[in-house]
Amino acid sequence: MNEVRGTWFDGGRSKGNPARLRWSNVAVALITDEGLPVSVDRENLQVSSPLPGAPTRITFGGKGSFVTGDFTGVEKLRETLALNPGLASRVERHMPMVVAAAALVIAMLAGLAFWGVPALAARLALTVPEEISAQVSGVLMSQLDAFLEPSSIAPERREELERYFLSHGEVATIEFREAGIFGANAVTLGATMIAFSDELVELAESDEELLAVYFHELGHARLRHVEQNVFRSAAWLVMLTVLTGDIGAVGELLVGLPLSVGLAANSREFEREADAFAVDRLIEADLSPMHLATILQKLEASHLRQDDVEDSTGDGDNGRNPATDSEESSISYSPLDYLSSHPPTEERVAYVRSRMAEID
Ligand SMILES: [Zn+2]
């Protein structure tokens, strides 16, 4: 005769009675410590399948249940009565397979997130009609306009630059804005819109440097990087929702999606692609690719200067610590293109030089 100790709950009162479940090959009996036998229907005996360490609940078809923490005893009961092994022991028995399956699922999800999603986003982005891209650009521009001022560059100069840029490559809309704390910068807002800050126009010492920036942005526009980012983020959010089951938290992320992800998250690979596009176009236009390297270096220097000014005049608002902050501040102050993302300027200049070496 085998037995496990546990507690009998009769299904009426919440308080249980200490009891023993005994069994042999032919019979099962439950006896409380008070000596009361409880009638047990072996045919309806069911054993819950908890994980090791969790109490096991055994029921007999009625209201009552017997709860025990004796995991080994319960396994013995299963064996004697030829019940299905519990989930815990099944997991334990097939542990290598479980681990392999879990690893496979994780690998598949990672593959989907890091290769599948970007590949799909790249395809989908190219199918977005220009009218839709233009609508996205409009929304992004209006969100950005909350932080920007109208351009103070003379309209004639803006028109002159626009004509110059467009003569080297078409885009539907070119915008100019005074960017304030964002400083010298430019940004692509989808396939149809490129925006320059006044500060960038003033920083450049030649129109060729500005054209180099324009080509870089045109690369983002033609390669549909903003649209790709939107598709990527949407796909990742869907995956996140499926994995976490928390649509509320994911919904909150979605609210900030267009501005934060559509613009700021230009990845390393997108920047490289846009730089390569710009260099190709400069060479095609019989201009030196070094114009791109030059303006990149000026941009970096101007942002470092700007950080210095902000650090020394800042009154520590937002709880920022001016002394330790300068490394990050070009990132946090610049949701626009340059310096807001890697690769570092040094690496990008090295790339331009390597392309120069090719054509020499
Ligand atoms: Zn860029």
Q: Where are the domains of the chain?
A: 2-93, 128-359
Question: Which residue from 210, 227, 211, 222 is spatially nearest to 140, judged by alpha carbons?
Answer: 227
Pairing of strands 173-178, 193-197: parallel
Q: Which residue did the predictor score with more confidence, 246 or 286?
A: 286
Q: Which residue did the predictor score with more confidence, 171 or 313?
A: 171
Which pLDDT belongs to residue 221? 93
Q: Decide which of 1.20.1560.10, 2.30.29.30, 3.30.530.20, 2.30.22.10 is the CATH code for 2-93.
A: 2.30.29.30
pLDDT surpasses 90 at 339? no
Burial 161-192 (b: 16+ CB within 10 A, else e): bbeebeeebebeebbbbebeebbbbbbbbbbb
Count Cβ atoms within 10 A of the Cβ of residue 287 and give its class: 0-12 exposed, 13-18 middle, 19 or more buried.
Answer: middle
Q: Which residue did the predictor score with more confidence, 285 or 322?
A: 285
Q: Return mean pLDDT, the chain.
A: 81
Q: From the CA of 188, how far away is ligand 1's center (Å)?
A: 8
pLDDT digits (tens, 9 = 90+) for 28-73: 888 888 887 788 887 888 888 666 677 888 888 888 899 998 888 8
Q: From the CA of 104, how far away is ligand 1's center (Å)?
A: 36
pLDDT digits (tens, 9 = 90+) for 225-280: 988 888 888 887 777 777 777 666 666 665 555 444 444 445 778 889 999 999 99
Q: How confident is the model at residue 312 (pLDDT cuts 50, 70, 90)?
A: low
Count Cβ atoms within 10 A of the Cβ of residue 338 and give its class: 0-12 exposed, 13-18 middle, 19 or more buried.
Answer: buried
Q: From the CA of 273, how far away is ligand 1's center (Å)?
A: 9
Highest mean pLDDT among 123-127, 162-166, 318-322: 162-166
Local structure of 179: helix, strand or coil: coil
Q: From the CA of 2, how far away is ligand 1's center (Å)?
A: 74
Give me 91's structure tokens. 């997991």
